[in-house]
């Protein structure tokens, strides 16, 4: 039976993972030639949650946005049509984090690794001139969606496969034997059903075991190689070791994208940081990852034993008692999947272990040789690394004075011996609840500090990219934006135009009315431009009395109409200067549209500048086109 027929049968019989209706409509519009960015933005705005995610993404460090974006229309312009389709699909799935019924399927690990895969693929695509980073993000994020689909459709049967811990090849063969389709082919069929490019599905089928030079289609080969390399990087992020290829092989593949072996460590660290930030944004569990150079020097067993982070839900607990039988009993009572238990036989040993391991909870007996429980409490509270440790004191006395003494020493709670397991467990759960609250507070504080630093950097960068007089983007900002839109226009054939504008006889205004009034004229002209430009036009001041408008998705005629509208708006506006003086100001403009023969954005601006020169030569207060 064909894969497509099997997929149709599965969709009819099971509830497979699928994008939201809004995301599906966004994808349809994005790949429709008759749709506009406004149409796409209107659909996105019907889903407040999706709108919020697009705004966060458009303003994120990944997009390198200089000017804050506050509307979906502007976000759509910044992200682009293909990016809107890809990210709508990604955001839709990242928001649907409901656990499937397959008990052996590690749902959180699946999404954690998928997110790392997507972040790495996007970073590599930015190094490539041929592939769209947002499309690679989505392709990688959902490249293994077939696994989730099989676990959802066949929870009981899939448990048996997962329990056997099969290798990649054996897993695919077993899926094919039992379900008549393996997860790579199922992922490809789902991509096709969602309207994604055919090339994506082809790459998903082959990427995991891809070998260079095996594929003749160059575009497919590059896509599959990026998916393959980014999957290896994701495996390193989640410490899924050993890799199917060596660290040296990973670095060798990365060289194809301009990442030298000595620079790969820094590249990897940035991916880990972005992965953790996005994990926080979408509430997907991530983990601390050792530095890349440390990972290279440790074998898989050492990494598992020494540096794998405890699961987010696990609490490290130190039990202290000089009686071996009591200690053994404590270990048995405290045993739980959510706890890691370590022990010490006296207070002195416990202090040494606590300073090294940093447990979040200590359960200690009061009376012990060398250092008793009270002394241990006081010592822990004096150390910066252990002063917030939750401490439960085990005591054989209930006298008020002794309990006060225990709390004064730093104990958070106490349990009277002999104790019942039920009472001890209840006290521990209360402490664990506080520990988890503290964890969340610490995480939130770290995120706030991180974003405060980033906001400070962004504000400083914004000042360097904004014209101080008019508040418009400056020349540096405009040239960076032009580079981006030229790349998009060249890649996808999108329409692009620019308008060069000059305030007529501005020197005479300065000479006649003074420089202060000249500045006032420039500010009012800038306000007129901003008011009359469209949401997706970028108006910037290039210097002096010269302005530039970058018009995406606009051809020659559309930009000519815009330029004429701006000219007319300035002409009819009466400038009120200081001292009750008024001035009649006009502008000249030159329009140019992107042509295939242009090598870069500089040639587009030169064409518009030449047209501006003709407008001034032909009498000013007029608009001319480049051709």
Distance from C-alpha of 210 to C-alpha of 222, rounded to nearest angstrom: 11
| Residue 400 dihedral angles phi and psi, to the nearest 5° | -60, -45
Distance from C-alpha of 411 to C-alpha of 420, rounded to nearest angstrom: 20
Concatenate the DSSP letters of all residues of 28-78 into one string: HHHT-TT--HHHHHHHHTT-HHHHHHHHHHHTSTTTT-SS---SHHHHHHH
Q: Which of 215, 432, 545, 624 is catalytic?
A: 545
Residue whose C-alpha is closest to residue 622's, from 547, 552, 563: 563
Distance from C-alpha of 536 to C-alpha of 259, rounded to nearest angstrom: 34
Residue whose C-alpha is closest to residue 603's, from 612, 613, 593: 593
Distance from C-alpha of 52 to C-alpha of 49, rounded to nearest angstrom: 5
CB 23 within 8 A of CB 91: yes
Cα 473 to its chain centre, rounded Å, is: 26
Max Cα–Cα distance, the chain, nearest Å: 102
Q: Residue 173 half-sphere exposure, CB side, CA atoms within 13 Å?
A: 5
Location of structure tokens 């599906």: 24
Distance from C-alpha of 584 to C-alpha of 601, rounded to nearest angstrom: 33
Kindly give the pairing relationship between strand 496-503 and strand 546-552.
Answer: antiparallel
Beta bridge partners of 549: 499, 539
Distance from C-alpha of 225 to C-alpha of 161, rounded to nearest angstrom: 28
CB 255 within 8 A of CB 261: yes
Question: Would residue 173 show up in a list of annotated catalytic residues for this protein?
Answer: no
Residue whose C-alpha is closest to residue 567's, from 555, 585, 554: 585
Concatenate the DSSP letters of all residues of 329-380 into one string: HHHHHH--TTEEEEEESSHHHHHHHHHHH--SEEEEESS-SSS-HHHHHHHH
Residues serving a catalytic function are 545
């Amino acid at each position: 039976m064909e894969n497509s027929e099997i997929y149709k049968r599965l969709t009819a019989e099971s509830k497979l993972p699928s994008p939201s209706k809004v995301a599906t409509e966004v994808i349809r519009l994005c790949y429709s030639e008759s749709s506009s960015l406004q149409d796409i933005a209107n659909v996105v705005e019907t889903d407040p949650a999706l709108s919020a995610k697009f705004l966060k993404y458009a303003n994120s460090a990944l997009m390198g946005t200089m000017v804050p974006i506050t509307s979906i229309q502007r976000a759509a312009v910044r992200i682009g049509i293909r990016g809107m389709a890809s990210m709508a699909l990604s955001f839709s799935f990242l928001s649907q984090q409901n656990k499937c019924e397959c008990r052996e399927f590690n749902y959180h690990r699946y999404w954690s690794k998928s997110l790392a895969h997507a972040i790495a693929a996007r970073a590599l695509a930015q190094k490539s001139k041929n592939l769209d980073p947002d499309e690679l993000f989505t392709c990688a994020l959902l490249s293994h969606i077939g696994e989730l689909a099989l676990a959802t459709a066949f929870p009981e049967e899939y448990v048996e496969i997962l329990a056997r811990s099969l290798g990649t090849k054996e897993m695919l063969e077993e899926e094919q034997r039992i379900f008549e389709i393996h997860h790579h082919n199922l992922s490809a069929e789902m991509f096709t059903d969602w309207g994604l490019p055919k090339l994506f599905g082809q790459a998903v089928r082959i990427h995991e075991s891809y070998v260079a030079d095996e594929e003749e289609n160059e575009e497919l080969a590059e896509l599959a190689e990026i998916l393959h390399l980014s999957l290896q990087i994701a495996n390193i992020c989640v410490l899924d070791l050993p890799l199917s290829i060596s660290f040296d092989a990973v670095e060798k593949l990365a060289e194809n994208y301009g990442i030298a072996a000595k620079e790969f460590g820094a590249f990897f660290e940035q991916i880990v940081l972005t992965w953790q930030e996005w994990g926080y944004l979408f509430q997907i569990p991530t983990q601390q990852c050792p530095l890349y150079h440390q990972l290279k020097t440790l074998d898989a067993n050492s990494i598992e034993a020494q540096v794998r982070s405890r699961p987010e839900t696990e609490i490290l607990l130190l039990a202290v008692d000089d009686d071996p039988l009591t200690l053994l009993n404590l270990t048995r009572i405290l045993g739980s999947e959510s706890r890691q238990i370590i022990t010490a036989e006296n207070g002195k040993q416990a202090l040494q272990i606590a300073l090294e391991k940093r447990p979040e909870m200590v359960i200690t007996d009061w009376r012990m040789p060398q250092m008793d429980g009270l002394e241990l409490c006081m010592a822990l509270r004096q150390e910066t690394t252990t002063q917030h440790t939750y401490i439960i004191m085990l005591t054989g006395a209930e006298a008020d004075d002794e309990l006060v003494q225990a709390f004064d020493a730093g104990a958070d709670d106490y349990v009277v011996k002999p104790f019942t397991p039920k009472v001890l467990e209840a006290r521990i759960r209360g402490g664990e609840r506080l520990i988890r609250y503290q964890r969340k507070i610490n995480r939130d504080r770290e995120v706030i500090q991180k974003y405060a630093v980033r906001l400070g950097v962004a504000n400083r960068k914004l000042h360097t990219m904004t014209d101080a007089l008019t508040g418009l983007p400056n020349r540096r900002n405009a040239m960076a934006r032009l580079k981006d839109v030229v790349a998009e226009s060249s890649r996808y054939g999108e329409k692009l135009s620019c308008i060069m504008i000059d305030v007529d006889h501005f020197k005479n205004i300065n000479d006649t009315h003074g420089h202060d009034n000249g500045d006032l004229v420039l500010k009012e002209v800038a306000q007129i431009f901003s008011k009359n430009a469209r949401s997706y036009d970028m108006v910037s001041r290039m210097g002096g009395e010269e302005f530039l408008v970058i018009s995406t998705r606009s051809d020659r005629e559309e930009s000519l109409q815009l330029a004429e509208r701006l000219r007319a708006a300035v002409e009819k506006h009466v400038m009120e200067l200081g001292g009750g003086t008024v001035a009649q100001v006009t502008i000249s403009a030159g329009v140019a549209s992107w042509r295939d023969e242009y090598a870069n954005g500089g040639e587009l601006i030169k064409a518009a500048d030449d047209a501006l020169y003709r407008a001034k030569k032909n009498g000013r207060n007029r608009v001319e086109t480049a051709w």
